[in-house]
Structure 1
């Protein structure tokens, strides 16, 4: 993956994706400055990452940072792969978010303490922020119409980024972005980083609905919609890519760690590709060499 431009990865982890009720922490170092009596002035907390948190009765969360960065996302993907390829750990689910790995387990099969000890031992094996990304990742090239009536907010986004429409299409259409995590809807990817010029806030009002295959943009990230839904992100491109197909042998097309390029095409070319390939709109893929 090509290196991000300065500032492109400085995005705070999304609340609701990486936060969870905390009952116990391992690996955390907390420092509280009480300030005046009662601790209402000068309070400060410092957490040393990675940290293991208990989530309810059947979950543990390993968090590598409190904000998204290339290193924290790399650590998340590599640690998840290490867990999945480990020695038959008796867990029910392993899933990633932007900077965390969630593990769901049956406490009647393995205790919290035993699983925490296993996770801490794995954490201690290496600096996960410098780990190799998992093998088997794919590069997808996805034909995309930018702007037109299919993606009507491109001009607005371009102006906010200080570009004209042609410059915006060149910038977005040449960006090679990573699937940071899958979430919100089945198979739906969060992708990044885009350059710092695309660190645009969400809209103040929701767009009532965008269709499947919509490419939307905010906070230096894309989301590629897998189902029709409202959004506060700007709709800048439209694809024929269907990332979730319930009846397919593999219903979820993308994996965290895959990379994507959204290649500009004309409206007639888009229509032709979608007619010929109604599932992926002419997208191609290849394995990324390790």
Structure 2
């Protein structure tokens, strides 16, 4: 692994962040931390965007996780050593933990029912956070959440971070099923489900926002770096959104 800790304000010198690792015969991973933080997520997103801007002809695919950037390259066109040298040179150009987020991001405002029979674990989650249900909804609704990564199911975002009170654990048992559009919470994150699925996270809200659109030219609606605000609505308003289209009343605006 490459020791580039001098470029990281977050880690002591012996931590060695960021780290570059080979992945298989045609991939490299740049890891910016071993746990989630806003600066490490920012670095992963910004570095992926920088790779795209660099226009390296050998790079065939890039993606990000919560704190890492992955790139896949053509091993017939460039060696691991040469690709790694390019990556390390780009890493050395700036402090990625303080880098600007990628351009072209959007802010989505998503109408959401909190609690009721549609999302029955709001009270339980709020109690775990030491809050009333009303205060929990207020804090969530006022927090602009970043799409930190896409994973688990097609187009499904992990959103964060919530205030510290929401550092609550997952359940010890699975909820057998939550519907598409469910808003679930744990460990200071929200997941907005793109499919109907079991979960160990607590179901606190429900939307009509459809994130995975298999027949669209862009089947994944949200992208890493986008941001989301959940706008509380009544069950009656939620009912009127049925049949209004896959956005379910959500609206987007460009982020500068």
Aligned to 2:31: 63
Cα shift readout 1:166-215 (whole Å, capped 9, x = no counterpart): 11111112211000011111110000000000000000001111111111
* Inter-partner Cα distance in structure 2 for 1:134 and 1:87: 15
For residue 28 of structure 1, report the CA deviation from its aligned partner. 6.2
Can you give the 5+ residue segments of structure 2 that lack an aligned partner in the other structure?
Answer: 6-13
* Inter-partner Cα distance in structure 2 for 1:208 and 1:111: 47
Cα shift readout 1:47-75 (whole Å, capped 9, x = no counterpart): 31011011122211001111111111111
Contact 1:179–1:191 (CA under 8 A) maintained in structure 2 = yes
Give the TM-score normalised by structure 1: 0.83
For residue 262 of structure 1, report the CA deviation from its aligned partner. 0.5
Change (3 A) 1:84 1:245: same
Aligned to 2:247: 280
Which entry has the higher C-alpha Rg, 1 or 2?
1
* Inter-partner Cα distance in structure 2 for 1:125 and 1:69: 22
The alignment covers a number of residue pairs equal to 249
Aligned to 2:8: none
Aligned to 1:36: none
Can you give the 5+ residue segments of structure 1 that lack an aligned partner in the other structure?
Answer: 1-24, 30-45
1:180 alignment partner, one of 148, 173, 180: 148
* Inter-partner Cα distance in structure 1 for 2:127 and 2:243: 33
* Inter-partner Cα distance in structure 1 for 2:71 and 2:177: 33
* Inter-partner Cα distance in structure 1 for 2:241 and 2:140: 20
Aligned to 2:192: 224
Kindly report the root-mean-square deviation, in angstroms, between the aligned alpha carbons of the 2 structures. Answer: 1.4
Aligned to 2:78: 110
* Inter-partner Cα distance in structure 2 for 1:143 and 1:126: 39
